[in-house]
Structure 1
Amino acid sequence: MRVGLVGTGRIGESHAAAIARRPEVDELVLADVDAGRAREVAGRVGAHAAGSIEALLHPAAVDALVVTAATSAHAELILAGVRAGTPVFCEKPVAPTVAETVEVLREVDKREALVHIGFMRRFDAGYARARRALADGELGTLHRVHAVTCDAAPPPAGYVPTSGGIFRDCHVHDFDILRWVTGAEVVEVHAYGANRGAPYFAEAGDVDTTAAVLRLSDGTLATVQGSRYNGGGYDVRMELAGTAGTIAVGLDERAPVRSAEPGVSFPSQSPWQEFWSRFRPAYEAEIAAFLGAVRDGGPSPCTVADALEAVLVADAADRSRREGRPVLVEEVRP
């Protein structure tokens, strides 16, 4: 299989290294707006560098296309791949706006194309185990869910104005995995935000700390909390509580929490500090699933439609924060 990858920044290089190790990949070809960087990364991971991005977008140029470029280029690259008849994997988000996401969705559906959007938590062993526990009745009737996403350190000031805001940039993962694990849709969101750190978040119209209550279609209540400043480390967890039991995702030996109880040493190892080390097995499983779908002609493990639903929840949360009221997801649906 010949795979093309566009975008050789930090996450692009990590994906490239994972793809290069896949046994079904005979050749990996990288491209970037910075051709020199593409060559450097290709040398490090054992791939080849294309002369241009366009060289990977022609029909039959590659068997699969992986998009890890800047968010502003996602929609254009997905559509180019789809129109060339090439299966596409793209890191989230599909596009900077809901309108562009809908445009991509219509084209993908019209062509019945294979497009996989990168929400890697669906491939994390802990989230998969929680989903099975709920589906198999181990938890009884689900009553509440709590999700946390906290960065160990904030992103650079220059990143924030183009990030889409904390709900789109960070919590969109919580919203997607909440739908995937529970099988329910988010109906309403009441979100709050605060700025407790550097002023550049507020200057960009964003916040660095969040709390939200979500009402699901089956009546379950969920809470989501987040921060750009978590001194304990990179903290991503989920707790599901039902009438027959409670299960927690991310509560391992590297969880960035400490017990206040006497004699308790758990967790005993150094805490996670960033997303790739925490979710590396999930990222690798995600790429393996995409390449398997390409090989076998299977369905997308995470569709553009799935991505749209998560973004709509994020937009509802952001509107709720700005307007100081609960917002129905249907209010932001085009």
Structure 2
Amino acid sequence: MRIGLAGVGRIGAFHASTLAGLDAVDELVVADLDAALAEKVAADQGLSFAPDIETLLASGIDAFVIATATPGHAPLLRRALAAGIPTFCEKPVAATLDETIALTELAESGDTAVHIGFQRRFDVGYRRARDAVASGELGTVHAIRAQTHDQAPPHAAYIPTSGGIFRDCSVHDFDIVRFVTGREVATVYATGENKGADFFSAAGDVDTAAAILTLDDGTLVTATATRYSGGGHDVRMEVMGSDGAIAVGLDHSLALRSAEQGVDFPTGPAHASFMERFLPAYRAELTAFLDVAAGLTASPCTVRDALQAFRTAEACEHSRAQRRPVSMSEIPDAPSTAKAIA
């Protein structure tokens, strides 16, 4: 297959390296708004290069990967849908709820496959947790703890366009909660604080946040996020049930140390970044996308899935700002119901 990739920043260059190592990829062509950077990445990794994204899209590619900065996702996805090119798009689909709704409607009105990049769905631990819930192994699931704790904050310039900590970080937890439980979020109550760099507050964001989600079957979920996890990159989930409990991410890379005497778990080292933590999952995710692009399987993570996770993040931001519980019924999921929350 001949694959086109737009965006060769940190995640784009990472995806390029992964795609280039997959047997189904005969040629990978990269492009970026910074043509010189795309040419360098192509040369460094032995890939093909397109001088601009317009040339890339017109070059007869079999599938398209969008790994640009967030502002590029929506317009590129629209162009790919118009051209009928199967597309993998990193989250978020768009920067706003209204645009995400519009793209969901557009994608569902045609038959071009779109796969959204929520790589945790391909992590063996999360998939094992999903199986444990679905099989009834845990009995009645009553509580879940989910977290995304980054070791260090991103560059200050990233924060104003990130969408905020719930849309940027916790959205992964919101998606994987749906994936593991098969349930939808009913209500949220969220808060956040900033004890770190001033650039978070300047952008209207926080560096540490927490949310309590109530699922539609009454399960309680606690989701936390921070930009300052000094012990290491720490992404985990604990699922508690009446007959048992299971944890994802509870291994020797755990970014915690025990306060108990004589306990040498974990032995480390801790992960430093999400790319290191989820390297096998990213490879599995892109392998699955190539099957989607080849027409062998349906998308395992649709634009509708991305919309549901984004709606939960949106509800959390409203809850944090207004200091009140927010029902998901207040957050639109279709153009006819879209309106601003007072």
TM-score, structure 2 normalization: 0.96
* Amino acid aligned to 2:144: V
Question: Structure 2: which 5+ residue stretches go unaligned?
Answer: 333-337
The equivalent residue for 2:204 is 205
Query: What is the match of residue 325 of structure 2?
Result: 326
Runs of 4+ in 1 over 4 A off after TM superposition: none
Match of 1:45 in 2: 45
Contact 1:150 1:236 survives alignment (8 Å)? yes
Aligned-residue Cα RMSD (Å) equals 0.9
CA distance in 1, matches of 2:261, 2:295: 54
Query: In structure 1, what is the Cα distance between the partners aligned to 2:172 and 2:206?
Result: 17
Tell me which residue corresponds to 1:16: 16
Shift of 1:225: 1.0
Secondary structure of 1:314's aligned partner: helix
Q: Residue type matched to 2:190 in 1?
A: A
Match of 2:335 in 1: none
Q: Report percent identity of matched pairs.
A: 54
Please, which moves more after superposition, 229-238 or 288-297? 288-297
Deviation of residue 51 (structure 1)? 2.2
Name the residue aligned to 2:187: 188
Aligned to 2:60: 61
CA distance in 1, matches of 2:259, 2:129: 26
- Displacement, 1:142? 0.2
Q: Quick one: which amino acid aligns to residue 269 of structure 1?
A: G
The aligned amino acid for 2:260 is E
Q: Aligned pairs, how many?
A: 333
Counterpart residue type for residue 15 of structure 1: H
In structure 1, what residue type is equivalent to 2:31?
A: A
3-state DSSP class of the match of 2:157?
coil
1:151/1:229 contact within 8 Å kept: yes
8 Å CA contact 1:65–1:81 kept in 2: the answer is yes
CA distance in structure 2 between the aligned counterparts of 1:106 and 1:57, rounded to whole angstroms: 22
* Residues 96-149 of structure 1: CA deviation (Å, up to 9, x unaligned): 111111111121111121000000000011000000011111101101000111
Structure 1 residue 296: deviation in Å?
3.2
Question: Residues of 2 paired with 1:98 and 1:57: CA distance?
Answer: 26
Report the Cα distance in structure 1 between the residues aligned to 2:199 and 2:84, rounded to whole angstroms. Answer: 42
Structure 1 unaligned segments of length 5 or more: list them: none
**2:137 aligned counterpart, secondary structure:** coil
| Residue aligning to 1:92 | 91
1:298: how far off? 1.9
Please tell me the residue identity of whatever aligns with 2:28. L
Q: Distance in 1 between matches of 2:313 and 2:108?
A: 23
Q: Secondary structure at the match of 1:258?
A: coil
Which residue of structure 1 aligns with residue 231 of structure 2? 232
Shift of 1:46: 1.8
The aligned amino acid for 1:319 is: H
Residue 70 of structure 2 is matched in structure 1 by 71
Please name the residue that 2:216 is paired with: 217
CA distance in 1, matches of 2:268, 2:231: 12
For residues 166 and 21 of structure 1, the distance between their equivalents in structure 2, rounded to whole angstroms, comes to: 32
Q: Specify the alignment match of 2:123 in structure 1.
A: 124
**Secondary structure at the counterpart of residue 212 of structure 1:** strand
Counterpart residue identity of residue 30, structure 2: L
Are the equivalent residues in 2 in contact too, given 1:139–1:241 (CA < 8 A)? yes
